[in-house]
Amino acid sequence: MSSIESLPPSLAKIVQRFQRATDQKRRYEQLIWYGTKLNPLSEADKVPENKVPGCVSQVFITVARTQDGKVKFSGDSDSQLTKGLVGLLIEGLNGLTPAEIIQLTPDFIQETGLNVSLTPSRANGFYNIFKTMQKKALESEVDSQ
């Protein structure tokens, strides 16, 4: 189980925010808030290569590299809660290097308390989104060499 101390600061901050939410309703509101922070994804990015496999909702993730080798994700979903998961992950992983992203495990979702309130299909969706972001980070590493 990953401890909050071992997380990148951006992700640790998110986990702490959720830990302060006292009940499930607050956690859901928090999650939806992350979804509202996402920039709209262009229709041109909503292509099969960017679609997250194994999600009940339509989820799209794109990745770009900054000059200093950090990763910048964009994403969208047609479901409010899933969009929140995408927003949470983008907020937590943007600005990290591919190596930092690949080392992470998705266990931190348990630290947020969200895992107990996610349906099995949403929890599965979260893992699929996380794995897709890791895969895209790794591909961006290969493409930039």
Tokens of 111: 């630290």
**Closest residue by Cα to residue 106 from 121, 85, 136:** 85
Side-chain-facing half-sphere of 124: CA atoms under 13 Å: 8
Task: For residue range 7-42, list pLDDT tens digits in order.
Answer: 999 999 999 999 999 888 999 999 999 999 999 999
Mean pLDDT of the chain, nearest integer: 91
Find the largest Cα–Cα distance for the chain. Answer: 46
**DSSP readout, the chain?**
---GGGS-HHHHHHHHHHHH--SHHHHHHHHHHHHHTSPPPPGGG-SGGGBPTT-SS-EEEEEEE-TTS-EEEEEEESSHHHHHHHHHHHHHHTT--HHHHHH--TTHHHHHTGGGTS-HHHHHHHHHHHHHHHHHHHHHHHHT-
Number of domains composing the chain: 1
Residue in the structure block whose two tokens are 């348990």: 110
Q: Which of 11, 31, 55, 129 is catalytic?
A: 55
* CA-CA-CA-CA torsion sign (58, 24, 109, 93): positive
**pLDDT at residue 51 is higher than 70:** yes
Task: Tell whether the model's pLDDT for residue 6 goes beyond 90.
Answer: no
Angle at 60 between CA 56 and CA 65, to 5 degrees: 150
**Domain hosting residue 65, numbered range:** 4-143
Q: Is 55 a catalytic residue?
A: yes
CA-to-CA distance for 48 and 18, rounded, in angstroms?
32
Residues 57-112 pLDDT 10s: 999 999 998 888 899 999 999 999 999 999 999 999 999 999 999 999 999 999 99
For residue 1, the model assigns a pLDDT of 44
Q: What is the pLDDT of residue 4?
A: 77
- The CATH number that applies at residue 73 is 3.90.1010.10
